[in-house]
A and B are shown apart, each in its own frame.
Chain A
Amino acid sequence: MDVLSSLFDGFGHALSPANLLLALLGVTIGTLVGVLPGLGPATTIALLLPLTFVFEPTSAFVMFAGIYYGGMYGGSTTAILLNIPGETASIPTTLEGYPMSRAGRAGAALATAAIGSFVAGTISTVVITFLAPAMSAIAKLIQPAEYFAIMVLAFVTVTSLMGSSIVRGLSSLFLGLTIGLVGIDQLTGQPRLAFGVPQLFEGLPVVALAVGLFAVAEAVATAASRDRGAGPAVSVEGRIGMTRDDFRRSWPAWLRGTAFGLPIGSLPAGGAELPTFLSYNVEKRLSKHPEEFGKGAIEGVAGPEAANNAAFSGVLVPLLTLGIPTSATASILLIAFQIYNVQPGPQLFDQQPMLVWTLIASLYIGNVMLLVLNLPLVRVWVKLLRVPAPLLTAAILVFATLGVYSTGASVFELFVAYGFGLVGFALRRAGYPVAPLILGAVLGPLMEVQFRRALAFSEGDPTVFVTRPVSAAILLLALACLVLPVVLRRTARIPAAVD
């Protein structure tokens, strides 16, 4: 199949007036929600996910692409202006972005973030356009045992590369897998962990789960910290834009950030966190102005922002071609696909060519729209930060409720969402990461399918996973990813204790 002609077809669908309007709407709402403090891209997408179900699949995904980019850009805006990273991957942006805005250079920081995201997003989308069909051809050759091993690797890397405790990360992951077990077993019709509740026979509703864990939990956390007072008021002083010198310092950082984010994001492992931290450290080392780091060095915003955006685009490769999400945001995207009865994976490019190519074309369009729309409108978004926190939280809960109710018309699902809001809050307080949980809940059922297929082929012999060389190698790699960080941390701690 010719990639370019498929892409042109995709543009043909995406550029219809109705779809363009939806893309514009998606970028606007995505930014609008993403810019609210505390709402990272995953929360933004979870909250807006139900809204897209009104439309037919192709239009919905066009809108989704807009929300995806808008939510991400909104997240970096709060990181720069308020020192509030919406998610782990935005932490490096706060390190230089916030000092820049304290020094009255918020305009330059926002501009380098927006242009850097555009550059990285566009380069990544071009690469995805050609890489994804090729990957999907390879993915068709993967056997169940290897598929299972790749999923294990994805789980392990997402759990172990970030967060301070592997045990707590794995706990969240296994809890997610447990949630994925709930419901009637598709092969034998046995109810599992349903406790006789008829509403649970179809499994725990994943939309309610995602909305609860992210949006409701965020609202509960706001309530819990009510007595601590509000943050400082913000305003953007000066011009939005970069000087010639800013530009000269930014563009190599954008390209280097893309070079980190895209390959790491495209692997069925990792996610977006690692490349942003990597990019920050590299920029700090390469900079001709190392003394500025920590006080507002523009490279420190340009690099990680580009890396973040490139990784976010790269994550779509394993998602579309293998059906494996490697971040919380990608898990929620997978939920969106499943709602429409579209199963991402090796067959997706053959079975749903129009959907996939329209989605890829929308990524290009979303990127352009974000740049055109956001730089001039940044002052409008910033006004949103002045909305009183109580009203904001009340509105989040109202929209969370509306979203969950409109997908299932079920009060039971509302209680599930609220319940998981409480669970998500408790996990956050106790220092357990939430991303592995949602990943496990979404990917768990698919993993079981591959697990049982592999064992069916081997006639029940469980050694199949370690006797097939490729599967064994991937599992070994996963084990290394699990054990190495612990060992490294131990050895790093000993000299620290001596000091």
Chain B
Amino acid sequence: MTEVNWSRRIVAIGFLVVAVVVLVSAFRIPVGGGYQAVGPRAFPLLVGGGLGVVAVVGAVQAFRPRDSVAAGSALEADDDGPIAWRPVLILLAALAGYAALLVPVGYWQSTTVFFVVCARVLGSRRLLRDAVIALVLALATYVLFDRVLGITLPPGFVRLAI
């Protein structure tokens, strides 16, 4: 395959960025005097150095005109095919909203909404069925964890009578 593997290039650049960040911040760790034979800096430098080397090699491989993409064997269960960006982005936004609203709105309330939205984004078209399943699932897990197992979950603005 001569087609460019964009995800690999982007990830390779990401690794380079992380390597730089690790090395820069490792040098900023104060060594501090004292009797420590090895301070807090040695291991981060080792890790950052290693990451730097493999990140550079990985980037060179990813940006080579003919990356050996075809060499990927049956051992790799990685997924090919085009990425459907719309559902991915909506899903990530829904997750962010879920996490942000969990405490102020409450566990079972936000879980119900999130489940319905998530199922819809992923292609479910039966709103009523999804809503019923979502509500039952959210209430069941809430009662099980909060009331039976004793793990406090955010109650939100509507308190359950049980």
A188 contacts B95, C-beta separation under 8 Å = no
A190 contacts B122, C-beta separation under 8 Å = no
Say if the beta carbon of A395 comes within 8 Å of chain B. Answer: yes
Kindly identify which residue among A395, A431, A460 contacts B78, using a CB–CB cutoff of 8 Å.
Answer: A431
B71 contacts A428, C-beta separation under 8 Å = no
Say if the beta carbon of A247 comes within 8 Å of chain B. Answer: no
Kindly identify which residue among B58, B118, B151 contacts A390, using a CB–CB cutoff of 8 Å.
Answer: B118
**In the bound complex, CA of A392 to CA of B123 (Å):** 12
Mark contacts of B93-111 with chain A using CB atoms, 8 A cut-off: 1 yes-contact digit, 0 otherwise.
Answer: 0011011101100000001
A418 contacts B40, C-beta separation under 8 Å = no
Q: With A390-B124, A415-B99 as given contacts, are A398 and B11 in contact (CB-CB < 8 Å)?
A: no
B39 contacts A188, C-beta separation under 8 Å = yes
B15 contacts A175, C-beta separation under 8 Å = yes
B88 contacts A220, C-beta separation under 8 Å = yes
Contacts of A216 in B (CB 8 A): 95
Say if the beta carbon of A405 comes within 8 Å of chain B. Answer: yes
- Tell which of A88, A164, A174, A456 has the most Cβ of chain B within 10 Å: A174
Interface size on B, residues (CB 8 A): 81
Kindly identify which residue among A174, A226, A432 contacts B47, using a CB–CB cutoff of 8 Å.
Answer: A174
- Tell which of A224, A389, A411, A460 has the most Cβ of chain B within 10 Å: A224
- Stretch among A26-34, A57-65, A251-259, A447-455 lining the B interface: A447-455
Contacts of A164 in B (CB 8 A): 71-73, 75-76
**In the bound complex, CA of A71 to CA of B79 (Å):** 22
**In the bound complex, CA of A187 to CA of B149 (Å):** 37
> Which B residues between 10 and 38 are near A, CB-CB below 8 angstroms?
10-12, 14-15, 18, 21-22, 25-26, 29-30, 32, 36-38
Contacts of B88 in A (CB 8 A): 220, 223-224
User: Shortest CB–CB separation between residue A239 and chain B, in angstroms?
Assistant: 31
A163 contacts B75, C-beta separation under 8 Å = yes
Say if the beta carbon of B4 comes within 8 Å of chain A. Answer: no
The chain B residue sitting closest to A90, CB to CB, is B77
Contacts of B120 in A (CB 8 A): 390
Contacts of B111 in A (CB 8 A): 398, 401-402
Contacts of B42 in A (CB 8 A): 451-452, 455
Say if the beta carbon of B65 comes within 8 Å of chain A. Answer: no
**In the bound complex, CA of A175 to CA of B14 (Å):** 11
Q: With A223-B122, A406-B145 as given contacts, are A395 and B115 in contact (CB-CB < 8 Å)?
A: yes
A431 contacts B8, C-beta separation under 8 Å = yes
Say if the beta carbon of A409 comes within 8 Å of chain B. Answer: yes
**In the bound complex, CA of A100 to CA of B83 (Å):** 32
Chain A interface residue number, banded: 35 or more
B47 contacts A177, C-beta separation under 8 Å = yes
B81 contacts A91, C-beta separation under 8 Å = no
B75 contacts A422, C-beta separation under 8 Å = no
Contacts of B118 in A (CB 8 A): 390, 393-394, 397
User: Shortest CB–CB separation between residue B81 and chain A, in angstroms?
Assistant: 6
> Which B residues between 129 and 147 are near A, CB-CB below 8 angstroms?
130, 133-134, 137-138, 141, 145
Kindly identify which residue among A88, A219, A459 contacts B91, using a CB–CB cutoff of 8 Å.
Answer: A219
B91 contacts A220, C-beta separation under 8 Å = yes
Contacts of B39 in A (CB 8 A): 188
**In the bound complex, CA of A448 to CA of B26 (Å):** 14
- Stretch among A165-173, A293-301, A346-354 lining the B interface: A165-173
Kindly identify which residue among B76, B134, B149 contacts A163, using a CB–CB cutoff of 8 Å.
Answer: B76
The chain A residue sitting closest to B111, CB to CB, is A398
Contacts of A222 in B (CB 8 A): 122
Mark contacts of B49-79 with chain A using CB atoms, 8 A cut-off: 1 yes-contact digit, 0 otherwise.
Answer: 0110011011001000000000111111111
Q: With A220-B88, A406-B151 as given contacts, are A455 and B38 in contact (CB-CB < 8 Å)?
A: yes
Contacts of B72 in A (CB 8 A): 164, 431
B18 contacts A175, C-beta separation under 8 Å = yes
Q: With A222-B122, A225-B81 as given contacts, are A167 and B57 in contact (CB-CB < 8 Å)?
A: yes
Q: Which 9 A-B pairs have the closest CB atoms?
A: A390-B122, A174-B51, A430-B11, A390-B124, A185-B40, A394-B118, A414-B99, A460-B37, A429-B7
Instruction: Pick 29 A–B contacts, CB within 8 A, sort by A.
Output: A88-B77, A164-B76, A171-B54, A171-B58, A174-B47, A181-B22, A181-B47, A192-B26, A193-B22, A223-B87, A223-B121, A223-B122, A224-B85, A226-B87, A394-B119, A394-B122, A394-B134, A395-B137, A398-B114, A405-B153, A411-B102, A422-B92, A428-B78, A429-B7, A429-B83, A431-B8, A451-B46, A452-B36, A455-B42
- Taking A167-B61, A181-B47 as given, write out 5 further A-B residue pairs in contact, using a Cβ cutoff of 8 Å, ordered by the A residue number: A54-B151, A168-B58, A171-B51, A227-B82, A401-B111
Residues of A within 8 A of B (CB): 54, 85, 87-88, 91, 162-165, 167-168, 170-171, 174-175, 177-178, 181, 185, 187-188, 190, 192-193, 195, 216, 219-228, 388-391, 393-395, 397-399, 401-402, 405-406, 409, 411, 414-415, 418, 421-422, 426-432, 444, 448, 451-452, 455-456, 458-460
